Copies of this chain bind each other. A is one copy, B any other.
Amino acid sequence: MNLDTRHSWTDVRDKIRARILDRTYAPGDKLPRDEDIAREFGCARTTVHRAMQDLSLAGLVERKRKGGTHVRADPVTRATFDIPITRREVEQKGAKYNYQLISREIEQSPIAIMARFGIQSAVEMLHVKALHLADNCPYIFEDRWIDIQSMPEVLDVDLTGQSANEWLVHNKPYSRVEVSFSAMNAEGENAQHLSAPVGSALFVIERTTWIGTAPITTVQAAAAPGYRLTARN
């Protein structure tokens, strides 16, 4: 095929996006059908579809069968965060990683933990507290609950040399994850282990994972003061 008649989906995407930015297609407007856009640009409908898929993922347009494609009236900022295992996060900053196991107990799951997993009755879980250090400074204190029923083998893992974080990631892939961020004041264990003044504002990451509908683990990770999370691009 002649180069002059080849079109890349990124070109189409950029042209459509430009029209949205300069309000040729204003917020709330309905865009032409994919087929019409394809004809205008002289490309295949699949190419337009690929472009629209990207704009849709980015939150710029909304697409519905029969309803057509609309410019989102209330654009949202969509940000994606990569949350690596802590060791890797520390090492990528060029710091030396260390890890300390604080406690390890088998306990009945409290209500709050059951709620996170969405289970109705209490079960025995492995309750692990640990500290991650960067260049020997406290970095993240984690308070983790691990389901025993679905993986009794975790009871045999030596968690003094390897964090539960790491063991789980390499041995227990999940099929569903829920992540949320919040802020809390340092107190008690958090303050103590993070060497943070009582009352300091801590950034908190909560992550719960399942394999199918079976709980795997839920962790509340409190970062030392000054922690900041930045979106990819």
| Nearest B residue (CB) for A89 | B76
The number of chain A residues with a CB under 8 A from chain B is 45
B75 A169 Cβ-Cβ under 8 A = yes
Q: CA separation between A170 and B71, bound complex, in Å?
A: 12
B-contact bits for A106-137, CB 8 A (1 contact / 0 none): 00000000000000000000000000000000
Chain A interface mostly helix, strand, loop or mixed?
strand
Q: CA separation between A17 and B176, bound complex, in Å?
A: 12
Shortest distance from the beta carbon of A34 to any chain B beta carbon, whole Å: 17
CB-CB contacts below 8 Å: A158-214 with B: 169-170, 173, 175, 177-185, 199-204, 207, 211
Copies of this chain, whole number: 2
B75 A83 Cβ-Cβ under 8 A = no
Q: Which residues of B contact A21 (CB under 8 A)?
A: 173, 175, 211
Identify the 8 closest CB pairs spanning chains A and B, nearest first.
A183-B183, A201-B201, A183-B201, A79-B179, A183-B203, A180-B230, A77-B83, A179-B231
